[in-house]
Amino acid sequence: MGFGAPPMTALVGLALFAVWVVAEGGIHLGRLYQPERPDRQRAGLTLLQGAYAASLLVGLLDAAVLHWTTLQPASLAVGAVGILLVTSGLVLRITARLQLGRHFSAFVQTSEGHRLVTTGVYSWVRHPAYTGFIGLLLGYPLCFESLASFAIAAGIGLPALVYRIRAEEAALVGWFGDDYRAYQRRTKRLIPGVW
């Protein structure tokens, strides 16, 4: 343990985090999301948000102050992979959210006039916003070069995301029926050709 400057990749990661906050905030200010409905489901959202926040906080503290589980010496290659994951995840997530527009919700819910989107990035995978989120979830710990942050993201965040996807897919089958089942047969959940 020791005090010292965080790796340069951690600073780039923080700058990308600021870009993500501004982009997501802009989407909300533009009201490109569904208003909350009383029948909405959280479906693991709190655990996912908690894991993401904890991973960011632990990674930042580890990189900037504590250095308990950071890679020593710092690895530019690990940090660069983190920057690549965060950047691509950010682009994919924002693209997916913009494509859904007012059909997007942080909750598992639907609204009047909701339609199944299967074009654009949704023709690649069924949940491209979650694929992008995985880039953020796993990329930031790599930017911070923090093993503890990565363990939180992978050990808590990924299982919470899988749980949420399964709950959401069950709801989507209920809403869209055979149309969604056909969409499931021709696309993967998160990674084209894999899962």
- The predicted-structure confidence for 15-43, as pLDDT tens digits, reads as follows 999 998 898 888 877 776 656 666 656 66
DSSP SS3 for 80? helix
H or E element: which one contains 156? none
Record the pTM: 0.86
Q: What angle do the packed helices 8-29 and 128-144 form, to 10 degrees?
A: 150
Q: Hey, what amino acid is at 120?
A: G
Give the CATH fold of the 8-186 domain: Four Helix Bundle (Hemerythrin (Met), subunit A) (1.20.120)
CA distance 179 to 44: 25
Listed by start position, the domains of the chain span 8-186
Tokens of 50: 């908690």
- The predicted-structure confidence for 90-135, as pLDDT tens digits, reads as follows 999 999 999 988 777 776 766 666 788 999 999 999 999 999 999 9
CA distance 111 to 36: 9
For 44-59, what is the mean pLDDT?
89
For 177-182, what is the mean pLDDT?
95
